[in-house]
């Protein structure tokens, strides 16, 4: 059995945890969450890779930090990230990984996005989250952000055959670390509402794998075929029984897809 080397760093920078040995793999969580959502994935993937997990600014153990723009968030993350790695981003983390691949390609060996979209907000004929849903979340966030995050977790699992268990796991991960910073939660919602990387995707030069859940209500399955046209050189894979969190619902298949793609030359 491989030796798993673990380390963590807090200090004045963002909170990072690294474990395992081998090629570098960075995991980025989604909105309202923190790095604890990757606990199971880290245990498995760190058998073969050096896995780095960060709490994004404003979330988990990085709750004292804040970001205003995607550029600002990328700058904070890149400060202590490995020099060159495969970057895997879930949901909002996928947008951030895409931004880094576009603006700092020298840092990205391969790109993997999970249940993510170059544009989260729906705008006919583009499928996505209805703008009124995002603005409702923004309004509710000010009043009761605990309830808003719980609603978002329920939305992420909706449709999955293991929805109840998925929500329970997400909740446990979120509650295991400090509460998110409300300012960063708002900034994150603004990114989901405003960012549009559809035209920029043609400029991504590194090998790219896009993973989707067939039952996902936030990133509808149709997005996969739409992005196939925008990024014809990328690969996509659809998890048949998953909603927005395939790394939980179809864990083994998720790890297999990630490992296969990293190993492929």
pLDDT in tens, 170-181: 999 989 999 999
Check if the beta carbon of residue 35 is closer than 8 Å to that of residue 55: yes
CATH of the domain spanning 6-263: 3.40.50.1820
Joined together, the tokens standing for residue 45 give 């993937």
* Sign of torsion over alpha carbons 170, 194, 55, 102: positive
Question: Tens digit of pLDDT for each residue in 15-64?
Answer: 999 999 999 999 999 999 999 999 999 999 999 999 999 999 999 999 99
Query: Nearest Cα to 113, choosing from 189, 182, 216?
Result: 216
Mean pLDDT over 95-99 rounds to 98
Domain boundaries along the sequence of the chain? 6-263
Q: What is the mean pLDDT of the chain?
A: 93
Query: Nearest Cα to 30, choosing from 56, 8, 62?
Result: 56
CA gap 43, 53 in Å, rounded: 12
Phi, psi of 214 (to 5 degrees): -60, -30
Check if the beta carbon of residue 243 is closer than 8 Å to that of residue 157: yes
Query: Nearest Cα to 216, choosing from 129, 138, 113?
Result: 129
Mean pLDDT over 108-125 rounds to 97
pLDDT at 8: 63
Query: Nearest Cα to 216, choosing from 140, 117, 150?
Result: 117
Q: Mind telling me the catalytic residues?
A: 91, 216, 244
Q: What is the pTM of this model?
A: 0.94
pLDDT at 137: 87
In which residue are the tokens 């153990």 written?
A: 61
């Amino acid at each position: 059995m491989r030796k798993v080397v673990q380390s963590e760093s807090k200090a004045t920078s963002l909170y990072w945890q690294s474990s395992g040995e081998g090629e570098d793999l960075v995991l980025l969580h989604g909105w309202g969450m923190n790095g604890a959502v990757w606990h199971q994935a880290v245990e498995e993937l760190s058998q073969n890779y050096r896995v780095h997990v960060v709490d994004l600014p404003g979330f988990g153990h990085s709750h004292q930090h804040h970001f205003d723009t995607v550029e600002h968030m990328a700058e904070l993350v890149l400060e202590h990230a490995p020099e060159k790695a495969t970057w895997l981003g879930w949901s909002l983390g996928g947008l951030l990984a895409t931004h880094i691949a576009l603006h700092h390609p020298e840092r990205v060996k391969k790109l993997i996005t999970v249940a993510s979209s170059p544009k989260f907000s729906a705008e006919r004929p583009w499928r996505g989250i209805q703008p009124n849903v995002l603005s409702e979340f923004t309004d509710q966030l000010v009043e009761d952000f605990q309830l808003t995050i719980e609603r978002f977790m329920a939305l992420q699992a909706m449709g999955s055959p293991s929805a109840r268990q998925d929500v329970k796991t997400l909740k446990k991960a979120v509650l295991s670390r400090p509460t998110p910073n409300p300012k960063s939660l708002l900034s994150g919602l603004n990114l989901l509402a405003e960012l549009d990387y559809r035209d920029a995707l043609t400029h991504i030069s590194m090998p790219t794998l896009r993973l989707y859940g067939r039952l996902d209500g936030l990133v509808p399955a149709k997005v996969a075929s739409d992005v196939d046209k925008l990024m014809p050189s990328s690969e996509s894979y659809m998890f048949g029984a998953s909603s927005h969190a395939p790394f939980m619902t179809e864990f083994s298949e998720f790890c297999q897809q990630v490992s296969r793609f990293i190993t492929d030359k």
